[in-house]
């Protein structure tokens, strides 16, 4: 990848989509320039539009190549860096990893809506609705099943760190904020994510931000 690789992100405190490729790149020590655009300001749309590829972040700029959408960026990076962990090598595990990552990409709408990512906050006594509990239960099942069936060789969902882990990282940040615990090996997996050096760095950066997005402050 060219030395002028850049990742355009939103606020680290709030932007779950930005977090995914950022953490994956940090985990693999891939050098990149970080361009941060504060979200929901009068300048946000104009600044994102300068990249000419949609109205949202993240955006990866690699020379004259631009890639947007978290999952597309992760797959592009994995293709470019074959020595880094993208998808699991085994066919069955690979299919499972792609499926749960796609499910995370397009699903869990109640959790997204009612538990927005807010890395700086710790909310005591948060009331979980029935719809959000269904999402939490499904996540508990995903984490438990992946760890049980595919993770004998390491601490991540499929043993070795993969795109799937990056996709689910913001959920763990939400669980931190709203005091959600899981069961057994699923809860152990949350600790693995929380303790990842790239996640620790992202969280520290988020606490230094001064912007407040009222719609994300429940």
Phi, psi at residue 8, to the nearest 5°? -95, 125
As given in the structure block, the two tokens for residue 214 are 């009222």
Looking at residue 2, its pLDDT comes to 47
Contacts of 21 (CB under 8 A, 6+ apart): 7, 58, 60, 70, 73, 74, 77, 166
Looking at residue 216, its pLDDT comes to 63
CATH value of 91-201 in 1.20.1250.20, 1.10.287.1260, 1.20.1050.10, 2.40.50.100: 1.20.1050.10
- Per domain, the residue ranges of the chain are 6-84, 91-201
On whether the pTM is more than 0.85, the answer is yes
> pLDDT averaged over the chain?
95
Transcribe 120-180 into DSSP letters. T---TTPPPPHHHHHHHHHHHHHHHHHHHHH-TTSSBTTBS--HHHHHHHHHHHHHHHHT-
Tens of pLDDT, residues 144-184? 999 999 999 899 999 999 999 999 999 999 999 999 999 99
Name the strands in the sheet holding 59-62, side by side, starting at the edge strand that comes first in the sequence: 33-36, 6-9, 59-62, 65-68
Number of Cβ atoms within 10 Å of the Cβ of 15 = 26
Q: Distance between CA atoms of 86 and 26, rounded to whole angstroms? A: 14
Q: CATH says 6-84 is which class?
A: alpha beta
The per-residue pLDDT string of the chain (218 residues; one tens digit each, 9 = 90 and over) reads 445 799 999 999 999 999 999 999 999 999 999 999 999 999 999 999 999 998 999 999 999 999 999 999 999 999 999 999 899 999 999 999 999 999 999 999 999 999 999 999 999 999 999 999 999 999 999 999 999 999 998 999 999 999 999 999 999 999 999 999 999 999 999 999 999 999 999 999 999 998 776 776 76
Name the DSSP class of 119.
Answer: T
Q: How far apart are the first and last CA of the chain?
A: 40
Q: Distance between CA atoms of 8 and 85, rounded to whole angstroms? A: 22
């Amino acid at each position: 990848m060219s030395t002028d690789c850049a990742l355009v992100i939103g606020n680290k405190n709030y932007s779950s989509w930005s977090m995914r490729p950022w953490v994956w790149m940090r985990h693999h020590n891939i050098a990149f320039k970080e361009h941060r655009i504060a979200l929901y300001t009068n300048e946000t749309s104009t600044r994102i539009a300068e990249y000419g590829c949609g109205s949202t972040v993240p955006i990866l700029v690699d020379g004259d190549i631009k890639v947007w959408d978290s999952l597309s960026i992760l797959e592009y990076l994995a293709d470019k860096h074959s020595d880094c962990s993208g998808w699991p090598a085994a066919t069955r595990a690979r299919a499972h990893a792609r499926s749960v990552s796609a499910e995370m990409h397009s699903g869990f709408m109640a959790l997204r809506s009612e538990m927005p990512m807010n890395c700086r906050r710790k909310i005591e006594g948060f009331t979980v609705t029935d719809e959000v509990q269904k999402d939490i239960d499904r996540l508990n099942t995903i984490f438990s099943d992946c760890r049980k069936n595919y993770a004998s060789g390491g601490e991540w969902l499929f043993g070795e760190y993969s795109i799937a882990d990056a996709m689910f990282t913001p959920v763990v940040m939400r669980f931190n904020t709203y005091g959600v615990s899981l069961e057994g090996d699923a809860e152990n997996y949350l600790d693995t994510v929380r303790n990842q050096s790239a996640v620790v760095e992202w969280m520290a950066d988020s606490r230094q931000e001064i912007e407040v997005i009222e719609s994300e402050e429940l």
